[in-house]
Amino acid sequence: MNAANPTSSFTFDSSWSRASGKVILFGEHAVVYGVRALAAGISRGVFARSERATADSVHVGGMLLAPDHALLGAVRCLRAQLGAAPLRLEFHSELPQGAGLGSSAAMAVAAARALSKSHEQELSDRQLFEAAQAWERVFHGNPSGVDVAAAQSNSVIAYSRGSHPEPLTLAKRLHLVVVQAGPPASTKLMVEAVAKNKVRNPAQFDKTLSAIASLVDNASLLLRQGELNAVGQLMDLNHMLLAGWMLSTEDIENACKIARDAGALGAKLTGAGGGGCVIALAENQERQNDIVNALARSGLSAFAATVGEEI
C-alpha cells in the first residue's frame, strides 16, 4: 500500500474511521533494555470503513485483495477477538508501508473502529487495543503494543517493555516533518547490531543507555512544559547516541542536516535505523513548511505532520 497523494480526491466523512501513524521521538532500541521510550500518534494515518457481509473481503486503494492475502487472516483474527460477523473492509492510507510509521497497526485500529461502527458494537479502549493486537500478531508474532497504542492516540505516549503505554500531556502541539531517508533496514538486523555493541564494549554501552534514559526523562518534562527548543536539542543528542551504535547512514545524516539548516529545532532517525525515516521538529507551521520544501528541493520525500491538539 503506497502513501496517499496529499492532493488526492479522498474525503474523510462520518462513514470512515481513522487511526494514527506512529513515530518514535526518543528511546528507540534502548527500550529493548528496559529504558522508557516516547512515541507519538501523528496526524497522518489510515482510514477504514466496513459493512456486514457474508464473507470477509478487503479493498485497499480501491483494489480487492485476493482471498489468501495475509490481511484477510488478520481480519479474521480481529473479528474472532471481538466475536463479530464477517465484514467488507475498505482502507485508505496516508502512510508509506514498511517505513517504520506503524502502517499495519494503524490499519488494525482503523479496522476495529470501523467494525465497531458498522456492527453497532461499543468498544472500550482496552477492547480495541486487544483486537488490534490480535491483528498485529499475524504479522509480528509478539508485538510490544506500542504501535497499536500510538495508533489509538493523537498525542505522545510513554512506554516501557512489558508495561501498557501511558499518555503524556503536551503543553504545545508538535509540528513535525517526516522524511524518508533511504529504504528501511530489517528491524531484526538493527536490533542484533545494537546487541553486538553491548557485547563488544559493555561499559560504554551502559553509559549510552543511561544517557538515553536521562534524555527520555528530560524530554518528558520539557514536552509537558512546552519547551520545544530544548526538546529539539535533546532530539539531536539522541540521534548522536544512536549514530554511535552505527544505526545512522549517509542518507539519514544528509536528511538531518538539510532539516536543521532549514530551521528545524532538532532532527533524528526514528525507529530501527539503518535507513527508513527521519523526523524533524519545527517551531511552527511556517517553519515546518520551510523544512518540507528544503527537503523536496533536495529530492527527498517528506511530509508535515502534527501531534496533539491546539491549546
Is residue 135 within 8 Å of residue 111, measured between CB atoms? yes
Cell of 224: 509537558
- Nearest CA-CA partner of 127 in 78, 162, 86: 78
**pLDDT, tens only, 54-112:** 999 999 988 999 999 999 999 999 999 999 999 999 999 999 877 889 999 999 999 99
21 and 164 inside one domain = yes
Model confidence, pTM: 0.88
Query: Is residue 3 situated within a structural domain?
Result: no
- pLDDT, average across residues 107-122: 93
For the stretch 158-183, pLDDT in tens is: 988 778 888 999 999 999 999 999 88
Task: Tell whether 57 is covered by a domain.
Answer: yes
The continuous run of DSSP H or E covering 278 comes out as: strand 277-282
What was the pLDDT predicted at 310? 52
| 196 lies in the same domain as 124 | no
**Overall average pLDDT of the 220-246 stretch:** 97
CATH number of the domain within which 283 lies: 3.30.70.890
Same domain, 245 and 268: yes
Q: Tell me if 268 sits within 8 A of 186, measured CB to CB.
A: no
**Residues 105-115: b if buried by 16+ CB within 10 A, e if exposed:** bbbbbbbbbbb
Residues 6+ positions from 139 with CB-CB distance below 8 Å: 70, 74, 104
**3-state SS assignment for residue 177:** strand
Do residue 31 and residue 114 come from a single domain? yes
Among 147, 168, 189, residue at a domain's last position = 168
Mean predicted lDDT score pLDDT of the chain: 92
Number of domains in the chain: 2
Residue 144 CA: distances (Å) to CA of 25, 111, 116, 262: 17, 19, 24, 35
Which of 133, 168, 203 is the C-terminal boundary of a domain?
168
Is there a single domain that holds both residue 110 and residue 218? no
Residues 164, 241, single domain; the answer is no
What range does the domain containing 192 cover? 174-307
